Amino acid sequence: MQKNKKLIFVACDTSNLNQVKKIISHTKNDELKIIPKFGLQFFYSKNGRQFLKNIKRDFWLDIKISDIPQTALSAIESLKDLKKCKYITVHASGGLEMLRAIKRKVKSVNQNIKILGVTILTSLNNKSLKEIGYTDNVDKIVLKQTNLIVKSGCDGVVCSAKEAKLLRKKYKNLFIVTPGIRLPGDNKNDQSRVVTPHDALVKNKVSGIVIGRSLILGNIKKNIRRLIDNLNQ
């Protein structure tokens, strides 16, 4: 990847195969490094799994594995036919033993896969964390989870860009990816901790961003131009 290209993960949040093909086609761009990201909705869909088996480009499988270590290992083993899978997400809440086990296992499945540890979901805030039972605030929990992810040997962290600035102070070279990205003026929808692409990549110095609805709703090519303009402001 060229150093001057921003890393953009486009969230293909649909179960419609034709829509996914459109998203991939219309987000091709020479000014950005764009990689499609597939979550549970597409992965669980009728044609999704087969499509990912045959896809010819790198992709991110965002399935947020979290289970007892043996079950998590079995999940990784079942993905060995997805040759172009470049990234897989696992939940930090699964614990250090699970994270370490997955990191070891992935080497025998596909050495090109990078394991990204997911911290607190960007749909949650301090109020919702208290409702779940957490006593610390978002910043403290994300920092603790990141320490766990780094200790496990995983390749990077997924967190809100609002916590990324805090993490970057401690981990200068950590691979940090941030979801919860919206172009200026767009609806937050179900996200609580959101920032613009410019604030995430330029101000908070994250490694890459995940952007879905701001790109895939409406005219995708025009939205790509809006994204580039925001990054260049």
- Using only C-alpha atoms, what is the Rg of the chain? 17
Active site residues: 64
Taking the C-alpha atoms of residue 21 and residue 47, their distance in angstroms, rounded to an integer, is 12
Cβ atoms 177, 207 nearer than 8 A: yes
Mind giving me the DSSP string for 172-222?
A: TT--EEE--B--TT---TT-SS-B-HHIIIIIS--SEEEE-HHHHSS-HHH
Cβ atoms 231, 162 nearer than 8 A: no
Cβ atoms 116, 87 nearer than 8 A: yes
